Amino acid sequence: MGTPVAGPVFQQSLQDRERLRKKGIFLKWCSIAVLLLGVAGSVIVGFTLTDVINSNDWGGFLLAAPVAVSGGIWYSLYARSKRCLALSAQDVLAHDTRPPVIYLRSFKDDGKNVRTFKNSFPLWRVLHPMKLWGSVLNAFDTRTEEEVLAEVLHQIGPVVGIGRPGEKLPQLGAARVYVDDDHWQETVHSFLSRAGLVVLRLGKTPGFFWEVEQSTVKMNPTRLIVLVPLSHRKYDQFCERAATHFPKGLPAYKCSQMRRLFGANLLGNLKAMIYFEPDWTPVFVDLARIRWPWKYKLRMAGRRDLLNAYDWALQPVYKQLAVTWEPPAYTPGRVATVLYKSVPLLLLAGLVVLIAVVSMR
């Protein structure tokens, strides 16, 4: 039996769910067709306008235009198809009987939480051979920040949250349950009583502050984590208002903006995570400072920066919850990524040897 959801829940009829499923499958195939048409268009342009392309400096842009346009359409259709095919919280809890991970946030932040590679790509990476390959892989990663978070947290339990009232399609990531305004607090109480972990993404709405208060009262500190998407100033403002809900307060802001800019970009909106020891001592983890041990480098190569940051930042939480963490498996793609990243180092070593040999003559 899955975890029941308290309060009147807005459930879609079987006909509506089947209609959405068919729509999602249709949009997915349409996205693939559009992408293939773009590739075919570039091939046709290349064969039919060879002279124009070769005789003009902008010929390369003309050749790439069909693929670029189809790629944008593909991304839009594919992302929407995933939302149509997303499972509800009721479906997820019916199939996964582990204590759920409850994701609580301000509804106003849902738009910020879907930020992806497209608007967080630092152009300097094009000139950085050690970072370029990861950036290229991220370009084809359609997952949102919340999807990446849900993927990592799924090692602890099924990830669920309350859906924003009135939205036609659920956001991707935590499976949504929809309740009316008169019963959402009852639903939160029900979730907290069964939660294996509660994740608070800091916000500033009255409803969210109520959720913070209830979470700190009802949850064991080892089963609570806080995600920090706020700037230093806004974080301090949040602490002034909400720190009293935490028995030992909240830690000082310790994010490195320079490291985030030059060494650990593609982390999206989230800047840090806070977890709590059994006596409520808070521990601040700057996601931009996450560094994997060398023995895991090959396993983590080629994965999205944000996915790796979450995975390692949550290691102390896994231990406190007695969750067995499985490192990512070796794959040919990851091995190829490491080899690619080794090329600049090999070239540098070869240059040093060449200079040394020439100087000895």
Mean pLDDT of 79-107: 89
Q: Which helix (H) or strand (E) holds 20?
A: helix 14-48
Does pLDDT of 170 surpass 50? yes
Q: Cα–Cα distances in Å, from 18 out to 15, 23, 86, 142?
A: 5, 9, 12, 24
DSSP type of residue 341: H
pLDDT of residue 225: 95
Q: Are strands 272-276 and 224-228 parallel, antiparallel or unpaired?
A: antiparallel
Q: For CA atoms 199, 204, 208, 213, give the dihedral sign.
A: positive
Contact 19, 59 (CB under 8 A): no
Residue range 96-118: average pLDDT?
Answer: 76
Whether 164 and 107 have beta carbons less than 8 Å apart is answered as yes
Q: What is the tens place of the pLDDT at every residue in 297-323?
A: 666 665 666 777 888 889 899 999 988
Q: Are residues 302 and 269 in contact, defined by beta-carbon separation less than 8 angstroms?
A: no
pLDDT of 104 strictly over 90: yes
Three-state secondary-structure class, residue 16: helix
DSSP, collapsed to helix, strand or coil, labels residue 162 as strand
State the average pLDDT for the chain: 78
pLDDT at 4: 54
pLDDT confidence band for 10 (50 / 70 / 90): low
Instruction: Give me the pLDDT at residue 119, please.
Output: 44
